[in-house]
Amino acid sequence: MERKNREIQYDYLRVIAVIAIIMVHSIPAEAANDKQWFFSAAFMPVLLSFVGIYFMLSGLFILDHGTENILAFYINRFRTIVIPFGFYTGIFYFYYNVYLGQEKLTAVEHMKAWFLGWLTETTPMAPHMWFMYVILALYLCAPFLSRMLRAMNDHELKIFLAMILIIQSLLVYLRPLGFLAEESFQYMIFKGWLIYFVLGYSLKRLYHNSRYLPFAAAGLAGFALTMFQKCFTPSFTPGIHDLAPTVTAIASSIFLFFEFYGNVSIPLITKACGFISRHSYSVYLIHYLVLGQLSAVIIEKTWIRHFYVPKILCLTALTLLISLVVAWLLDETVLKLLKRIMELIWKRGMTDKGEK
């Protein structure tokens, strides 16, 4: 029962994370005036910190448990992650290359083109899919990384965490400062988005009984430094929206805020967040298509298009709503069928193997 209650905060985080990513893609790339620029400059670091939080949520659960049977872990990830991923890339491919496409190909040629695009990260008009290739790489090493981290005592884990954070900070800042560090650090294993994957597990394990104030201060400091860079040193902003320590501090403070204070059940809100959370993966995968081809078209036909912030908010809300409906329909029909077929194939294979 306690476990179920403690997962409430993670449902909240997932919902806010998917809303944040939709809002990132709803904010125009160019600002028409200083007010619009400041709005974008202030919101982007916070919104994009939720990309790291996505990785943290994955690492939080996977690195703690569930990888004892390595083969079963891989099969489950294939069923729950790879199959939906491939399916949604197929939707993007069909819409842009078949429905809107001019090139005449046979069904087999389209299947081959879709599959190659999926493998090579060239699915049309799907820049947000980069996240999936990173998370799949992390899942591949998760069973072994989990065993390594759980074998460490807390002191060893703190040293490990400090090491990877320091090295990543050096990788972010040394080159812009004129030091060519690639040759020295190119063989480092623990760098990049892996840090967030490890951070989710580590923060909960090491600091779940600590005071929140130092982490809140670190997050505020990270935000303040980010704004300082944007306002006063715009030519020096390496990793400012992804792997800089300032972003890591913001993401960690938000993550721990929900860890410490998010375990609050508000019946209707909790139920709604639980529903959105269950479909958040599919919402993430489909939202970019919905935003560009439906929400933006609808909003551009209304008076809201003339107002910067209301337009962003309406685009975000409409995209979330439409994406959630599409995700729910597909999750409960086509994807459920595909997953079931995968389960039957797996069970049949195990049965045949047992008989032999």
Q: Cα separations (Å) of 124 from 99, 111, 121, 176, 323?
A: 12, 14, 9, 32, 18
Contact assessment for residue 312 and residue 296, using Cβ atoms and an 8 Å cutoff: no
CA distance 224 to 89: 38
Confidence (pLDDT) at 45: 95
Instruction: For the chain, give the mean pLDDT.
Output: 92
pLDDT value, residue 69: 92
Report the candidate in 150, 153, 254 with the shortest Cα–Cα distance to residue 212: 254
Please give the pLDDT value at position 2.
36
Structure tokens at 313: 């908010």
Task: Please indicate whether residue 347 or residue 69 has the higher confidence score (pLDDT).
Answer: 69
Q: Round to whole Å and give the CA distance between 154 and 134.
A: 27
What's the pLDDT tens digit per position in 36-91? 999 999 999 999 999 999 999 999 999 998 888 999 999 999 999 999 999 999 99
- In whole angstroms, what is the distance from residue 255 CA to residue 41 CA? 21
* Percent of the chain residues topping a pLDDT of 70: 95
Query: Where is average pLDDT lowest: 19-28, 112-121, 165-174, 296-305?
Result: 165-174
Task: Give the pLDDT score at 207.
Answer: 94
Task: Give pLDDT, residue 68.
Answer: 87
Highest mean pLDDT among 60-74, 87-101, 181-195: 87-101
- Rounded CA-CA distance 83/30 in Å is 36
Query: pLDDT tens digits, residue range 251-302?
Result: 999 999 999 999 999 989 999 999 999 999 999 999 999 999 999 999 999 9
Q: Which of 26-40, 166-180, 212-226, 280-294 is predicted with the least confidence, judged by mean pLDDT?
A: 166-180
Instruction: Return the amino acid letter for 316.
Output: T
Q: Mean pLDDT throughout 3-20?
A: 84
| Per-residue pLDDT at 352 exceeds 80 | no
Reported confidence tier of residue 3, pLDDT bands at 50, 70, 90: very low
Q: Which of 331, 341, 213, 215 is nearest to 283 (CA)?
A: 331
Contact 255, 56 (CB under 8 A): yes
pLDDT at 1: 31
What is the pLDDT confidence band of residue 190, given thresholds at 50, 70 and 90? confident
In this structure, what is the dihedral angle of CA atoms 94, 100, 104, 105, given to the nearest 10 degrees?
Answer: -10
